[in-house]
Chains A and B, each alone.
Chain A
Amino acid sequence: QSALTQPPSVSGSPGQSVTISCTGTSSDVGSYNRVSWYQQPPGTAPKLMIYEVSNRPSGVPDRFSGSKSGNTASLTISGLQAEDEADYYCSSYTSSSTPVFGGGTKLTVL
């Protein structure tokens, strides 16, 4: 199973919006709504931010939103804050009944 494709880095200024893409295939992202997103500040464990494409766990700010179109899922962070600076990973269930991660995207808040 190949890793999902994410841009290596994105950046934005405080208050702006940024979108991180996660591209898979018809065997994963395109066929299942089991896409989730994780935030990982340096030196810490990942934290679930979005599950099942667009659902937010309790406690996650509504500035974080998720969507999907075809084989590509997206995470949008609006009203960017300094504390949002971190690595972000997507994951998807696959037709092999196993999950796969994206390569990760480093978000820099300028």
Chain B
Amino acid sequence: QVQLQESGPGLVKPSQTLSLTCTVSGGSISSGSYYWSWIRQPAGKGLEWIGRIYTSGSTNYNPSLKSRVTISVDTSKNQFSLKLSSVTAADTAVYYCARDYGGNSLWDVWGQGTTVTVSS
């Protein structure tokens, strides 16, 4: 049973870079036709897809965030990571990592989510 767990600072200052890591357990991040995504949700609002990575290193990003987002993968640690630069209060949200089967916008496994607040 594959499980995902987000980790990282819960508080980030404006203009700094938000960094989160998702650890995959119960299976190899390299096995199967899976992409690995980051999705966020501001309090009381809807879901927003941030981007995804395949274990080959190939990435796709939300056009609205593309200039500020970097997603990377470390197969040796069974982890993938998110960096979001130049953050503002609008980036305050619950951040989820999730497994996307075949890159088909089909997220079948989700982490529990981690809250990141952007504030000085």
* A-B Cβ contacts below 8 A, count: 58
Q: Looking at the complex, which one of B49, B60, B104, B113 makes contact with A100 (CB distance below 8 Å)?
A: B49
A3 to B49 alpha-carbon distance, docked (Å) = 11
Residue with the highest number of chain B CB atoms closer than 10 Å, among A45, A46, A48, A101: A45
CA distance A52 to B48 in the complex (A): 19
**A45/B113 in contact, CB under 8 A:** yes
Q: Is residue A1 contacting chain B, with contact meaning CB distance below 8 A?
A: yes
Contact-size category for A: 20 to 34
CB proximity of B113 to chain A, nearest CB, Å: 5
Q: Give the contact stretch, choosing among A13-21, A68-76, A88-96.
A: A88-96
Chain B interface residue bracket vs A? 20 to 34
A83-110 toward B: CB 8 Å interface, digit per residue (1/0)? 0000001011100111111111000000
Give Cα A3–Cα B64 distance, bound, in whole angstroms: 12
Interface residues of A (CB under 8 A from B): 1, 3, 34, 36, 38, 45-48, 51-52, 57, 89, 91-93, 96-104
